[in-house]
Structure 1
Amino acid sequence: MRAATESRTTASALSPQRRRADLRRLGEEEYDVVVIGGGVTGAGAAVDAASRGLRVALVEARDFAAGTSSRSSKLIHGGLRYLEQFEFGLVHEALTERGLLATRLAPHLVRPVPFLVPLAAPPGVRGWPARVGRRAYYGAGLALYDAFATAFGSGRGMPVHRHLSRGAARRLMPSLRPDVLTGAIRYFDAQMDDARMVVALARTAASLGATVLTSVRATGIDRTAREVTGVRVRDVETGVDYAVRARTVVAATGVWSDDISGLLRDIGVRPGLRVRASKGVHLVVPRSAISGTAGLILRTPRSVLFVIPWGGHWIIGTTDTDWTFDRERPAATARDIAYLLDQVNPVLDRPLTTDDIEGVYAGLRPLLSGDSEATSALSRRHAVVEPMLGLLLVAGGKYTTYRVMAADVIDRAARRLHRPVPASRTDQLPLLGADGYAAAWRDRADLARRYEVSVGVVEHLLERYGATTPDLLRMVVGDPTLGLPLPGAPEYLGAEVAYAAAAEGALHLDDVLTRRTRIGIETGHRGLATAEAAAELMGGVLGWDASARAREVACYRSRVDAERRSQTMPDDAAADAVRRTVADVRTPAGNPGDG
């Protein structure tokens, strides 16, 4: 078992040497499937195709999860609010996927998290009928939620819901104001680090033989008549172009689907679907700002609001508004921040202020567009269309159901190959780090003794890297300085930065501080106090000289400064204008707005 795990880990390593080899493969091989887009759906599609024995390439213009897939609420959930929209099939599908991820596919990354649904009588209404009515209403919904999770033997992986008195609710969440609370219902969903999940998917695809590349942008579609024969791409790091031969091209580009639609319109083809971008903003505050051990789900005039425990922090979100500006740099505004504080503060005994905020992030949800629906009412179902032979677009859906979307689009691709292709088996395929995780967690004290580190360090690594944790511990043995905490982010080790560059495909400082770790949103300095040390560690792996290190730090500082200034702006247009002033580190010339 150990030898097999180590072999798979080696095959999955997205090292600088692997990147050079994969770039050569792009120009030499003919692929059954080329996937454009390195978010959760694209990475999931690459895993699905590679696990069926297909020749696969995955290309991403920026970094894994650089868009929507790193800026979510960090939840794997069924979508409790979709029950009210009678989306029963979507809820059951999502809860089935939640069970698979928590118990079989990624137990090292997905774990239960408790939530309270606070119960309060409507304003002006008193007495037990109001209390009983609201408890019965929400209780019935959560009973249905639990029932969907266990239907057809799919496996829940989560405890059932439980009704609580006001006293019991406040023991779990002492920060809840007693005068707005008559009781609560506790239920469970699942939590994960969304960006790390995508990295695990990408490395799993690589371990199965896929060509996997970031900083490679699709620039055109090659065709014969109305049939796709390949795709043209550019290595953003060097400016070198490649013509990639492919039997099928899958575009899993989320809110960037309009970019693919633009390429199609250039050759006179209608794309067949429209994607609407909905901006979701989240705040990160320290755990000390709110006293409690469970999350909250609150009803708002527009949708719902989550208060989510996140290690030593809380995540509060989200907003749900149309976004029509730069999709690569969605910006939170002062109005967004004020809205979130206004929604959460009425239930807290100590209201939060902007001084409590450690981090802010904004992401865009790709929603299948209707004509006049508000974004919060748009369905989260997905669609697969084939606007021309051999080009498949997949869009919509939600993070939790990425595997279903991936299987659907690869099913369509497989039918074009005119040879037997196995059915999807990703419901049985553990992601990298899952195999051996349970045993490693059980024996974590032994692992700590073997590598002469604390049990706390081992637990931290296991919950981020699973069974690949010994890779990082061996790095520390080889260079004990990598076992030291990072400046300004003591919960992270130097080894995690070096490992991100050596094995996880990180090419730039922002990749590590924003996605491989969450230092950029978990610290009041937004990663600035860590940037120089992290650049030194990355540079040692990637061969950066002093000038390259200085450029990386300067670009990161500029991005953080622009984010902070945008969060003081009154509206989206002003915030977007601030964000657009920042040079993109992923261009050889570093031109503003390129990317």
Structure 2
Amino acid sequence: MSPRLPSAGNRDAVLDELADGPELDVLVVGGGVTGAGIALDAVSRGLRTAIVEAQDWAGGTSQWSSKLVHGGLRYLQQLDFKLVAEALRERELLLDSLAPHLVKPVPFLYPITHRAWERPYVAAGIGLYDTLAHVGAKNATMPIQRHLGMKGVKEAFPDVKDGSMVGAIKYWDGKVDDARLVLTLVRTAARLGATAVSRAKAVSFPQDDSGRVSGAVIRDLETGRDRTVRAKSVITATGVWTEKTQDLAGADGGLKVLASKGIHIIVPRERISGESGLILQTEKSVLFVIPWERYWIIGTTDTPYHQELSTPVATSADIDYVIEHANVVLDKPLTRDDVIGTYAGLRPLLQPGTKGDEQSTKISREHTVTEVLPGLVAIAGGKLTTYRVMAEDAVDLALGSRAKDLPSVTAKTPLLGADGYLPLTRQAGSLGAPYGWTEQQVMRMLDRYGSAISEITELVDERPELAAPLQGAPAYLRAEIVHGCTHEGALHLEDLFDVRTRLTWEAPNHGLDAVEEIADLAAEALGWDQARRDAEVRSYRDRCAAQDAAAAIADEPAAAAVRSEVPDVVEAVALAAR
């Protein structure tokens, strides 16, 4: 049976069962990649598990990353071989067995700008990177580096600017649709028995007579109703909200986190002639030019952020910075007119001063997990690539001495859609023929759903009209919108634009050409009346307008203020209903 995340029709029953049912072994607070990984790790060990997220799944940092699964070349410069090797092992697991439908190899060019000393220096570093990736790997999923002169560079990236480099080293890393990975982790956990509820916020952490956290009070943000959920252990994975979450428990100490903003711009694929990506060093960050099927993703920045955490935006200064640095190597300079979309996200940066004894704290260069209070574990830091290791560390700490009897099995647990994916890619033409889909359309869906594409075909078998592409966004089928509502827990129109599809940034004008059509499909699937449907459309249009207004402002506080004027969709819909 296909795992279906709670929808508007059964949320109350699911939350009532959580509150009235047996005590959980683990309650996870936070539905980004780390929290989703923790839920999967816990439930796959046989633990009674639930996960709640205050926004939509991947609603914070996890949907706004550079969408890379990589080891981190910069850590080699810091001689942190162990950290790089760990990340590369995780990359290989995802590519080879855990999520081959979601994680794909992508080539990059590392520019060489000096003829003599630089090539052997860079080659040694990338060579070590390749070696660490292949040591102990069952299958070598990535090719090893190649040295390119300018002729080879021009073949791989015809639009490179003359004089910007004297050659390059071509190497491979991985790319992933980050939001799709989070959704798949949550649904895989649900398939194994975990309960997963989005737009449900932990508002307090009750304690028993001994001072141990005994669960959480969960507020359903859709209705405002509170429920108390009992749990032997609560694990929080709330990223840049870590300190706010710890404050709810009255903890004296815990993890200290600062937010750093990174933005990306989206450019149509035909605007830049190239097959490989680029990795560029800037004075503030690493800039990636990443090829996707229909567009290029270019970013990122790395700047301190002190505004509203839930609504970061790309400012005019941010966008100009990325364009300026990309143009250093592009023969046909980009302009603002070439940018069809932008997105901004916040990375949680761990700070010194974490409190906790050595027995209840595990710290690595990238992430830290600690017991903030008895029964309350917090984890922060890290990166998407190592989510599985972070999850294992968090559950191990929550279990204490029991961990050795219930070891993690996620290294051998393929995600939903992985099983059977490769054979289906050989059958893409015949699979799509009954529905009038091209082989390219089927491959695109296989790379989103894997073998769970059967859920799409089942919908179309029941309603053949859903086989058609969206008129305003033909990269997606009408069935995919319905599937986002029926199987993937979308509750609002923006959930469909942000996470179930990526139309909010990968299509011009935030995908608004398709907004009415998508709203009609969502209204039918979720039981909205005309007033609710119109309120959802108005809320999404208002948000898009605010983001565009912010993108025309250079000053960060001013841009953030413009964006924050638009209420959250839950609030907007509630206001419209009054």
* Number of the residue aligned with 1:128: none
Unaligned runs of at least 5 residues, structure 1? 1-6, 122-130, 372-377
Give secondary structure in 1 for the equivalent of 2:28. strand
Give secondary structure in 1 for the equivalent of 2:419. coil
8 Å contact kept, 1:40–1:65 = yes
* Number of the residue aligned with 1:144: 128
* Number of the residue aligned with 1:99: 92
* Number of the residue aligned with 2:356: none
Q: How far off its partner does 1:15 sit?
A: 4.5
Could you list the per-position Cα deviations for residues 117-141 of structure 1 after superposition, in whole angstroms to 9, with x for gaps in the alignment?
Answer: 11113xxxxxxxxx13111111111
Give secondary structure in 2 for the equivalent of 1:332. coil
* Number of the residue aligned with 2:396: 411
Q: For residues 71 and 326 of structure 2, what CA distance do their matches in structure 1 show?
A: 23
Could you list the per-position Cα deviations for residues 416-452 of structure 1 after superposition, in whole angstroms to 9, with x for gaps in the alignment?
Answer: 7x69852000000000000110111112122123444
Residue 353, structure 1, aligned to residue 338, structure 2: no
Q: 1:379 to 1:297 in 2, by over 3 A?
A: farther
8 Å contact kept, 1:257–1:275 = yes
Residue 299, structure 1, aligned to residue 281, structure 2: yes
Q: For residues 416 and 253 of structure 2, what CA distance do their matches in structure 1 show?
A: 35
Residue 538, structure 1, aligned to residue 522, structure 2: yes
Q: For residues 419 and 186 of structure 1, what CA distance do their matches in structure 2 show?
A: 42
Residue 25, structure 1, aligned to residue 7, structure 2: no
Q: For residues 156 and 90 of structure 1, what CA distance do their matches in structure 2 show?
A: 20
Q: For residues 237 and 417 of structure 2, what CA distance do their matches in structure 1 show?
A: 25
Q: How far off its partner does 1:331 sit?
A: 1.4
* Number of the residue aligned with 2:111: 118
8 Å contact kept, 2:27–2:51 = yes
* Number of the residue aligned with 2:416: 432
Structure 2 letter corresponding to 1:72 = S
Q: How far off its partner does 1:589 sit?
A: 6.2
TM-score using structure 2 length: 0.95
Q: For residues 588 and 296 of structure 1, what CA distance do their matches in structure 2 show?
A: 41
Q: For residues 12 and 47 of structure 1, what CA distance do their matches in structure 2 show?
A: 15
Give secondary structure in 1 for the equivalent of 2:570. coil
Residue 309, structure 1, aligned to residue 291, structure 2: yes
Structure 2 letter corresponding to 1:112 = P
8 Å contact kept, 1:584–1:591 = no
In the alignment, which of 209, 224, 240 is matched to residue 239 of structure 1? 224
Q: How far off its partner does 1:156 sit?
A: 4.3
Residue 519, structure 1, aligned to residue 511, structure 2: no
8 Å contact kept, 1:583–1:591 = no
Structure 1 letter corresponding to 2:258 = R
* Aligned counterparts, 1:148-547, within 5 A: 148-153=132-137, 155-224=139-208, 225-264=210-249, 267=250, 269-370=251-352, 381-415=366-400, 421-547=405-531
Q: 1:203 to 1:18 in 2, by over 3 A?
A: farther
Q: For residues 554 and 41 of structure 1, what CA distance do their matches in structure 2 show?
A: 32
TM-score using structure 1 length: 0.92
Q: How far off its partner does 1:21 sit?
A: 3.6
Q: How far off its partner does 1:474 sit?
A: 2.3
Q: How far off its partner does 1:20 sit?
A: 4.0
Q: For residues 304 and 20 of structure 1, what CA distance do their matches in structure 2 show?
A: 45
Q: How far off its partner does 1:55 sit?
A: 0.5
Structure 1 letter corresponding to 2:302 = D
Give secondary structure in 1 for the equivalent of 2:3. helix
* Number of the residue aligned with 2:359: none
* Number of the residue aligned with 1:125: none
In the alignment, which of 24, 37, 40 is matched to residue 33 of structure 2? 40
Count of matched residue pairs: 565
8 Å contact kept, 2:5–2:197 = no
Q: 1:560 to 1:182 in 2, by over 3 A?
A: same
8 Å contact kept, 1:106–1:430 = yes
Q: For residues 380 and 563 of structure 1, what CA distance do their matches in structure 2 show?
A: 34
Q: How far off its partner does 1:471 sit?
A: 1.4
Structure 2 letter corresponding to 1:28 = D
Structure 2 letter corresponding to 1:22 = V
Residue 84, structure 1, aligned to residue 77, structure 2: yes
Give secondary structure in 1 for the equivalent of 2:370. strand
Q: How far off its partner does 1:591 sit?
A: 6.7
Q: For residues 575 and 351 of structure 2, what CA distance do their matches in structure 1 show?
A: 32
Q: 1:173 to 1:101 in 2, by over 3 A?
A: same
8 Å contact kept, 2:199–2:222 = yes
* Number of the residue aligned with 1:3: none
Could you list the per-position Cα deviations for residues 334-390 of structure 1 after superposition, in whole angstroms to 9, with x for gaps in the alignment?
Answer: 11111111111021111000000000000001111248xxxxxx9851001112100
Q: How far off its partner does 1:155 sit?
A: 4.6
In the alignment, which of 556, 559, 564 is matched to residue 543 of structure 2? 559
Q: 1:362 to 1:380 in 2, by over 3 A?
A: farther
8 Å contact kept, 2:6–2:14 = no
8 Å contact kept, 1:170–1:178 = no
Q: 1:154 to 1:395 in 2, by over 3 A?
A: farther
Percent of aligned positions with the same letter in both sequences? 47
Q: For residues 49 and 234 of structure 2, what CA distance do their matches in structure 1 show?
A: 10
* Number of the residue aligned with 2:357: none
8 Å contact kept, 1:236–1:588 = no
Q: For residues 486 and 316 of structure 1, what CA distance do their matches in structure 2 show?
A: 27
Q: How far off its partner does 1:332 sit?
A: 1.2
Give secondary structure in 1 for the equivalent of 2:571. coil
8 Å contact kept, 1:584–1:590 = no
Could you list the per-position Cα deviations for residues 239-264 of structure 1 after superposition, in whole angstroms to 9, with x for gaps in the alignment?
Answer: 11100001000000011102112213
8 Å contact kept, 1:12–1:204 = no
Q: How far off its partner does 1:288 sit?
A: 1.4
Root mean square deviation of aligned Cα: 1.8
Structure 2 letter corresponding to 1:361 = Y
Q: How far off its partner does 1:58 sit?
A: 0.3
Give secondary structure in 2 for the equivalent of 1:237. coil
8 Å contact kept, 2:106–2:173 = yes
Q: For residues 543 and 308 of structure 2, what CA distance do their matches in structure 1 show?
A: 15
Q: How far off its partner does 1:587 sit?
A: 3.3
Could you list the per-position Cα deviations for residues 164-185 of structure 1 after superposition, in whole angstroms to 9, with x for gaps in the alignment?
Answer: 1110111110000122221111
Q: How far off its partner does 1:302 sit?
A: 1.8
Q: For residues 240 and 424 of structure 2, what CA distance do their matches in structure 1 show?
A: 38
Could you list the per-position Cα deviations for residues 496-540 of structure 1 after superposition, in whole angstroms to 9, with x for gaps in the alignment?
Answer: 110000000111111111111111111111121111111111111
Q: How far off its partner does 1:226 sit?
A: 2.0
Q: 1:317 to 1:380 in 2, by over 3 A?
A: farther
Give secondary structure in 1 for the equivalent of 2:213. strand
* Range moving further from structure 2, 468-477 or 354-363: 468-477
Q: For residues 88 and 155 of structure 1, what CA distance do their matches in structure 2 show?
A: 21
8 Å contact kept, 1:143–1:161 = yes
Q: 1:25 to 1:258 in 2, by over 3 A?
A: same
8 Å contact kept, 2:36–2:186 = yes
Give secondary structure in 2 for the equivalent of 1:271. coil
Q: For residues 177 and 205 of structure 1, what CA distance do their matches in structure 2 show?
A: 47
* Number of the residue aligned with 1:127: none
Q: 1:502 to 1:509 in 2, by over 3 A?
A: same
Give secondary structure in 1 for the equivalent of 2:423. helix
